[in-house]
Chain A
């Protein structure tokens, strides 16, 4: 046998040095990456020998040989999920030619999942939208940017004139950068509507509402890394092995190093469950009984943290009363989980502390989503696990910037940073944006509509189809501006198609055409604007753990695409308010500078402590990633010494005071200037004579050694701390207060000088006050979470005992609940649709999936839409593995033709389908409807073609996890 002796030096050495050396050497004449550029992959090498279908072959741009061309390394962040993996891009001559592991990132430490390992393809994908397009009589026409903006703008103005600003729905994206999200929210505000939303509505809106109503902020309390400190982990309704694979690195380390029980509670034996020490199978939609079932054992055995509850929790006694009803027998009857098993899980959580609870969309996407979230939060409160390293509610968000897009207000119910929509909030932002409040008010149809929650993305088509009287705004929706949002991600697609048909204007701004473009019922009035990906622009994004990371532009926007900032600016200019909107934001060649946008956010988003994360600090963190500890995420040395990685919010006050960010929320063991915190005093100081403020619990070094309300001028005066304010700060506060008695009401949230925050911090106090967490949230429809059967319950006999909420109105629309549930329970639907349908995620694809299904490296791994069917059911129904089946849904005669995957992964009577597919509709391919050469490689039936009605009362989250279906061989 031959032996090859390596001629090159194989010792250590960084790529950059080596490549540079190669490039400098006249002998070699060409760097490794140069070959790639030159070879023209279809012409030689590996690709040449593969006889592939024509569509699969991609010719690399056959460029000239690039000797002595430098390879530049750029750092960005993966655009696929909320873990926030650093992507290292090697760029030569403006082309992204190689991807290397980001070893220094404290989050992913060099690793990726399939999606992260594939992101380079995004900047070369020929399946991207290449130029603006317009649909004329069912045919896509290429148009220029000027014409597109001109026509879209004119139509928007016509609609505004005829039907008012609320007739336009502005759908933003969790794939925006923070700056893009903020700008889009601002655009909607200047346009004059609150009909502005994004994907958080359909993934974790109930989490945000649930945890914010419990302890103050709607976010993951700890971090992925911190899970390595956990002594027990329980994952409910989540499958991180597929949805957040890199998080599993931390979770499995925690499991191994701490010998931690790793418990998965899920209807489906997921790939995560395969690594669990204990798997609990439950019936879909019974999370509250499970949580109460666990608490039953905890209370029964006295395993709760009594001192913690006394000091830091309000209303636990009311929870005890509810939990008492959930005996092991009743829990087993409703959920299917044996009492003995839940006792073992409860004991594992209680006796291996700190223990963490992790959840995802299996908990949130329910008609009781908010209550589910609250039940799990209360479980953690009872165990005293919140505000503790290794504990916490580790809520895995979905998209790469869904946390940031939520924080910066892409939401129908609030302005940026959860200020809400009340007059005070608008006045705050009017000051921050330096426009008159009356100007903003004038942009809206009425002051009432200015302060009313808008129409959420789960129901936009209901608002299109509504008759004028049925909807609490002057006109049904007539136009949708859809930026970076799939068309197959919302339930009840048959209704969605009707709504889409009726819209007079549909604008899609996206790197890919999305499902919306392929719906054949629409033949005119659709525009597609090629938006670039986040790898072709720069800006910050917030991971699930609240760390902000600055992504550096890897390459210029490809083809004719433009970044979100530019498209938003062009629209604002056409619509006539660019001057006001960009008053303090530099615009360079039609492109607002993201650093400036972030500075404006830093100045205005006080309430979540998004103030310390200046662009300079964020860039410094990215540059010095190696200095951060891989578990605590804190830098011990270097220019970022003392900071937590990415300055997880809250990072209080001006960047200059160098607050390090807060890695673990509500952690009293640390000084507030060290990232410590307490529960937020957000709901008053007293209720029914009982104090809501913390009792003898406070963050380390606090001068007030007890609970305290949020800081306002009045509070400062009472404490005598107002003297600590500088004259400049006083001047700002006086101006905001209008000089009169109102000055006392100026709070830490509205004081643009940030003086009140500075003074509170100086005395070791947290600006938002120090309260108890609320086990009882009296402002929610269910103050104490109670089990409610799904609308399409597979157990009609339980419906009367556990009915859905009463029918109601909210978000400008009617919400049916109990009436529909009873109708379903009393009908013969259960006989005709005997199986439970639930949906979820695959590792190779993301969200609606158009982007990832267009990537050949990923598409090859999952080529068909499928439905998982239990082996016994399959046998009974005569369904073979891999055969075609029809899945029928109970509404609108809906159906989907998919392949059967016969497996015990799902329990008997349950069908699971992934939600990433689209491009087929009730058996027919829609491939021909996509604009030429933009159709994704893999198409399939969307699961939401057969999902049904059902919404959470607090956020209008859709029910995707429990409905009924019937499966028949096709």
Chain B
């Protein structure tokens, strides 16, 4: 069976936040909860790249490994879900997650944590697919409707892709080969150093504003 993955192509991502907004729209995610967000490296400098981050739906999710109440589950498609009925808001998963995916609503003015919320790969939760309870706790279940996560479907430049990991890898490979130059070329940065991004007409020459 397919194993669902997100893949963000940094050569394409322009930090437009469509993914973030699509997520908010689809699941009516409230203010302050960010199931998905953009991370930009080298902001404002040559070599600036952004990628869109959310739960990566790990094969062997560390969040699940540390959860004291064992609230996590994985679907047959490899999507990592969790049960808000079991979650105690302890925050261990936040420390375990390398990607900062788990989010906690503030429940009182004293800042105690509510039940964890995170990206569901638009696959709802442990409740029956398409049930009222599922929507209320986890948002829409697009996967059950035969659709992919809306963030990836709406990505402005097709940077963020979501779906069967094997298919995504093929798409990404094809793109890399087609680019065939500069930071898009496989191994380029290893061979020529970070600041020396080539360009098609002066391979290896100064570009993107120089070093």
Q: Judge if B14 is at the interface, Cβ distance under 8 Å.
A: yes
CA distance A56 to B29 in the complex (A): 12
Q: Judge if B43 is at the interface, Cβ distance under 8 Å.
A: yes
- Nearest A residue to B113 via CB reads A49
Q: Judge if A274 is at the interface, Cβ distance under 8 Å.
A: yes
Q: Judge if A420 is at the interface, Cβ distance under 8 Å.
A: no
In chain B, residues 1-40, which have Cβ atoms closer than 8 Å to a Cβ of chain A? Answer: 11-12, 14-18, 20-22, 24-33
Would you give the shortest CB distance from A927 to chain B, in whole angstroms?
A: 18
Pick from B92-100, B144-152, B165-173 the stretch touching chain A.
B144-152
Per-residue contact bits, chain B 123-144, to A (CB 8 Å; 1 contact, 0 not): 0001011101001111111011
Per-residue contact bits, chain A 41-78, to B (CB 8 Å; 1 contact, 0 not): 10011110111100011001000000000000000000
Q: Is the CB of A261 within 8 A of B200?
A: yes
Would you give the shortest CB distance from A939 to chain B, in whole angstroms?
A: 16
Q: Is the CB of B209 within 8 A of A269?
A: yes
CA distance A57 to B30 in the complex (A): 8
Would you give the shortest CB distance from A265 to chain B, in whole angstroms?
A: 11
Q: Judge if A134 is at the interface, Cβ distance under 8 Å.
A: no
- Within the complex, which residue of B25, B47, B135, B178 is in contact with A121, where a contact is CB–CB below 8 Å? B25
CA distance A18 to B31 in the complex (A): 30
CA distance A112 to B17 in the complex (A): 9
Q: Is the CB of A6 within 8 A of B75?
A: yes
CA distance A775 to B136 in the complex (A): 63
CA distance A232 to B74 in the complex (A): 47
Given the known interface contacts A32-B145, A114-B20, the answer about A4 and B14 at a Cβ–Cβ threshold of 8 Å is no
CA distance A868 to B43 in the complex (A): 12
In chain A, residues 1-49, which have Cβ atoms closer than 8 Å to a Cβ of chain B? Answer: 1-13, 15, 18-19, 22, 28, 30, 32, 35-36, 38-39, 41, 44-47, 49
Given the known interface contacts A32-B140, A38-B132, A113-B16, the answer about A46 and B29 at a Cβ–Cβ threshold of 8 Å is yes
Q: Is the CB of A13 within 8 A of B31?
A: no
Q: Judge if A257 is at the interface, Cβ distance under 8 Å.
A: yes
CA distance A274 to B49 in the complex (A): 7
- Nearest B residue to A60 via CB reads B28
Q: Is the CB of A3 within 8 A of B144?
A: no
Given the known interface contacts A46-B136, A344-B201, the answer about A905 and B44 at a Cβ–Cβ threshold of 8 Å is yes
Q: Judge if B106 is at the interface, Cβ distance under 8 Å.
A: yes
- Scoring A9, A32, A280, A843 by chain B CB atoms within 10 A of each residue's CB, the highest score goes to A32
Q: Is the CB of B130 within 8 A of A117?
A: no
Give the B interface residue count (CB, 8 A).
83
Q: Judge if A629 is at the interface, Cβ distance under 8 Å.
A: no
CA distance A450 to B81 in the complex (A): 69
Q: Is the CB of B146 within 8 A of A248?
A: no
Contacts of A7 in B (CB 8 A): 128-129, 144
Contacts of B11 in A (CB 8 A): 252, 256, 275
Q: Judge if A278 is at the interface, Cβ distance under 8 Å.
A: yes
Give the A interface residue count (CB, 8 A).
90
Q: Is the CB of B179 within 8 A of A256?
A: yes
Q: Judge if A545 is at the interface, Cβ distance under 8 Å.
A: no
- Nearest B residue to A344 via CB reads B202
Per-residue contact bits, chain A 811-847, to B (CB 8 Å; 1 contact, 0 not): 0000000000000000000000000000000011000
Given the known interface contacts A50-B31, A259-B200, the answer about A116 and B126 at a Cβ–Cβ threshold of 8 Å is no
Q: Is the CB of A111 within 8 A of B156?
A: yes
Q: Is the CB of A18 within 8 A of B145?
A: yes
- Within the complex, which residue of A10, A252, A271, A344 is in contact with B143, where a contact is CB–CB below 8 Å? A10
Q: Is the CB of B106 within 8 A of A50?
A: yes
Contacts of A11 in B (CB 8 A): 146
Given the known interface contacts A45-B135, A117-B25, the answer about A256 and B178 at a Cβ–Cβ threshold of 8 Å is yes
Q: Judge if A246 is at the interface, Cβ distance under 8 Å.
A: yes
Q: Is the CB of A12 within 8 A of B146?
A: yes
Given the known interface contacts A47-B28, A277-B182, the answer about A3 and B20 at a Cβ–Cβ threshold of 8 Å is no
Q: Judge if A446 is at the interface, Cβ distance under 8 Å.
A: no
Q: Is the CB of B25 within 8 A of A861?
A: no
Given the known interface contacts A45-B136, A56-B31, A112-B18, the answer about A4 and B126 at a Cβ–Cβ threshold of 8 Å is yes
- Within the complex, which residue of B30, B50, B117, B132 is in contact with A56, where a contact is CB–CB below 8 Å? B30
CA distance A246 to B14 in the complex (A): 10
Per-residue contact bits, chain A 109-144, to B (CB 8 Å; 1 contact, 0 not): 011111111101100000000000000000000000
Contacts of A249 in B (CB 8 A): 156-158
In chain B, residues 152-193, which have Cβ atoms closer than 8 Å to a Cβ of chain A? Answer: 153-158, 175, 178-182, 184
Q: Is the CB of B49 within 8 A of A113?
A: no
Given the known interface contacts A3-B73, A3-B76, the answer about A269 and B45 at a Cβ–Cβ threshold of 8 Å is yes
Q: Is the CB of B30 within 8 A of A50?
A: yes
Q: Is the CB of B76 within 8 A of A117?
A: no
Q: Is the CB of B139 within 8 A of A46?
A: yes
- Nearest A residue to B107 via CB reads A51
Q: Judge if A756 is at the interface, Cβ distance under 8 Å.
A: no
- Nearest B residue to A858 via CB reads B21
Q: Judge if A348 is at the interface, Cβ distance under 8 Å.
A: yes
In chain A, residues 236-254, which have Cβ atoms closer than 8 Å to a Cβ of chain B? Answer: 241-242, 245-246, 248-249, 252
Q: Is the CB of A114 within 8 A of B17?
A: yes
Contacts of B43 in A (CB 8 A): 903, 905
Contacts of B117 in A (CB 8 A): 46, 49
Q: Which 9 A-B pairs have the closest CB atoms?
A: A45-B136, A905-B44, A2-B73, A277-B199, A114-B17, A274-B48, A245-B16, A241-B14, A279-B209
Given A3-B74, A46-B105, A50-B106, 13 more contacts at CB 8 Å? Answer: A4-B76, A9-B146, A30-B132, A46-B117, A51-B114, A99-B22, A113-B18, A114-B17, A118-B21, A245-B18, A248-B16, A279-B207, A904-B45
20 examples of A-B residue contacts, CB within 8 angstroms:
A2-B72, A4-B76, A10-B77, A10-B144, A18-B145, A19-B145, A35-B136, A50-B30, A50-B31, A51-B114, A99-B26, A112-B18, A114-B16, A117-B154, A256-B184, A259-B179, A269-B45, A271-B15, A348-B201, A904-B45
Q: Which residues of A contact B (CB under 8 A)?
A: 1-13, 15, 18-19, 22, 28, 30, 32, 35-36, 38-39, 41, 44-47, 49-52, 56-57, 60, 98-99, 101, 110-118, 120-121, 241-242, 245-246, 248-249, 252, 256-257, 259-261, 269, 271-281, 344, 347-348, 351-352, 843-844, 856-858, 860-861, 868, 903-905
